[in-house]
Amino acid sequence: THAFIHFPFSRSAIGTFFQEQPLLRNPFTQDALLRGYLRRHLPLQEVQSDLSKFGERVVCEIDDLGRLCEQNPPQLQPYDAWGRRVDRIITCDAWTRMKHISAQEGLVAAGYERHFGEWSRVYQMSKLYMYAPSAGLYTCPLAMTDGAAKVIESLGIPVRETFERLTTRDEKRFWTSGQWMTERRGGSDVANGTETVAQRQEDGSYRLHGFKWFTSATDADITLTLARIADHHGNTIQGSVGVSLFCAEVWGSDGRTNGVEIQRLKDKLGTRQMPTAELLLDGMRARLLSEEGRGVASIANMLTLTRIHNTVSAVAAMRRIIQLGREYSTKRSVFGKLLKDHPLHVQTLSRLEVETRAAFLLMMELCRLLGREETGTATDRDTHLLRLLTPVAKLYTGKQAVAVVSEGLECFGGQGYIEDTGLPALLRDAQVLSIWEGTTNVLSLDVLRSISKSSGRVLQAFFSDVEERLRVAGPTLRPAVQSLSSSLSGLAQFIQTAESHPPENLQLAARDLAYSIARIYMVDHASWEGASHPDVYAALRWCEHDMCPVVSGEIRGCYSTNAALSDSQLVYQG
Ligand code: UCC
Ligand code: FAD
């Protein structure tokens, strides 16, 4: 007879090995750079303890809610059982909880309470940075809410209740805002794409008729939107000068929409947690916010805020995948040892870390500048830098997030591709960051706009600021300083010669120029006395990039009329 052999794989037994999963840990206490940055600039116990407490809340409560938002995407109920149109967007309870938590934690309010003076935005955005990857995309309505509050505050419009609701910590009163700009003809080219017409009513309000093609977090309480005011004959003015900015409540007190028909919810690659709709505006009652014809310029403040939020979400996604990847490397054993003991694997993580640190520093600089501008402490140079770095940071970090998160997924091997780990959603949600709020090319052109509108003063601000930083860098940073100095002179030379090029050739250089500004600006934290060895090492590694791609592009002849012709032949051959 055979001896009894116990096979671990039989009937219900599925083997004895189970990989220990990577755990999310407190995103504040786990983030040396965030803590180091705040220690350097904002050494307040109150801030540290609030962020540390909030970090625990992210781990213990918010992260699960974010997963629930992903698993229970919003649905549209167009009609009730009796065939009446109701246009209801049904969201899950976790989404509602996110709204309450956002109010309680002051995720918009902190930017307006200005409790920490010029550092209030750094404080607010630090919280959002910890919140974003767990928030089930609730950061999207928060970004637009912050943008709407900023527009209302800066235009000085007497809509006190609306402003108070957008910036309250009271979860029962808190309102969110939408940002309805994109129509079928154009999301980038808003000036030509806007077909929505506004008809003035006798009481001074307006009724809007049009079709908005992308509206995110459409369950918002109010929205800012663009339309062309019609004269008595129904005529409108075309182009940017015909577009005005409006504010409207989305829902009436009876729960019905305010003259809006929801055509459908979009079926998207990512951001599935959040309703994105196509809307017919069929007489939506609205209030004019801007001067007539100043719609695009007036919504620019909202764009600044949402682009900064976009940057925060991009950096946060990078930080999250690294935190989890690092955790995993201490638990996963292959070829006889843990991943953390395979130097090649650690090198991969380290390269991601360098990208993320650089992106973090650019993000924080932007938040710092915004805080200064809003508290009257900004110098002219700060104001110019804020204008320049907003599109630069948004476009650069949006691209980085996709690359870093994609590489980061690979650090989990096959598990990185498996939905119920929660990891793939990070990549799907990162992909949108370079598309909405202005695509990479459109923002690169915005960088050129910021330069030409200021007659070059934003560039002067950039050069003088970087030169000042280079002057104070210590000897450990010498190779980085050398690389940055030579990139800076290359850039200066490029700009000098570019002035003589025709504008279309300058447009060909726009993306590389924006990348050059981003890369050069992404090092700083290593130059203070409390800098750690990893801070310095990260700065040195960062400077091994091609720091000034616009100079290399020029040398390769990428921006000439001939190159444009060859590009066209290459793309359209066949
Ligand atoms: O995508 C959207 C929502 C997504 C959900 C929210 C996510 C938030 C992040 C959350 C993370 C999880 S909403 C749709 C966003 N759409 C865009 O971003 C539009 C992209 N297109 C552009 O950015 C274009 O550059 C335009 C539409 C802003 C402007 O194009 P034009 O028509 O060629 O512009 P002009 O004629 O050059 O500019 C008109 C005026 C000028 O002012 P004046 O008249 O005084 O000379 C410009 O200086 O607008 C001014 N202006 C600006 N001012 C234009 N852009 C800016 C700016 N960035 N800052 C200040
Ligand atoms: P297009 O403008 O047609 O761009 C197509 C391509 O052309 C892009 O690669 C672009 O970079 C390039 N391009 C355009 N102009 C130029 C140029 N001058 N030079 C060189 N290249 C150029 N919009 C809202 O208003 N509110 C919302 O809430 C909202 N939510 C969204 C949610 C999601 C999930 C997505 C995906 C989009 C959302 N949008 C929203 C729309 C978004 O802002 C637009 O899709 C985006 O601005 C691009 O506009 P477009 O789709 O018309 O692309």
Give tens-digit pLDDT for 45-75. 999 999 999 999 999 999 999 999 999 999 9
Which atom of ligand 1 is found nearest the CA of 143? Answer: 8
Answer yes or no: is the C-beta of 316 below 6 A from any ligand 1 atom: no
Q: Ligand 2 pocket check: which of 177, 188, 189, 303 to mutate, most ligand atoms within 8 Å of Cβ?
A: 188
| The pLDDT value given to residue 2 | 57
Beta bridge partners of 227: 244
- How many angstroms separate the CA atoms of 123 and 114, rounded? 10
| The pLDDT value given to residue 3 | 63
Bin 380: left if φ > 0, else alpha if -120 < ψ < 50, else beta: alpha
Residue 390's Cα: distance from chain center in Å? 10
Amino acid at 386: L
Q: Which residues of the chain, if any, have pLDDT below 70?
A: 1-4
> Are 122 and 312 within 8 A, CB to CB?
no
Q: Measured in angstroms, how far is the CA atom of residue 287 from the centroid of ligand 1?
A: 21
Residues with CB under 6 A from ligand 2: 179-182, 186-189, 214-216, 268, 271, 276, 432, 435-436, 438-439, 441-442, 445
- Ligand nearest to the backbone CA of 141: 1
500-531 pLDDT, tens per residue? Answer: 878 888 999 999 999 999 999 988 888 888 89
pTM of the model: 0.97
DSSP-derived 3-state class of residue 319: helix
| The pLDDT value given to residue 44 | 87
| The pLDDT value given to residue 477 | 93
| The pLDDT value given to residue 414 | 98
Complex-level ipTM beyond the 0.95 threshold:
yes
> Are 242 and 254 within 8 A, CB to CB?
no
Q: Measured in angstroms, how far is the CA atom of residue 507 from the centroid of ligand 1?
A: 17
The radius of gyration of the chain from alpha carbons, rounded to an integer in Å, stands at 25
Name the residue with the closest Cα to ligand 1, atom 11. 310
Answer yes or no: is the C-beta of 453 below 6 A from any ligand 1 atom: yes
Q: DSSP assignment, residue 273?
A: T
Q: Provide, rounded to the nearest whole percent, the portion of the chain with pLDDT above 70.
A: 99
- How many angstroms separate the CA atoms of 120 and 371, rounded? 6
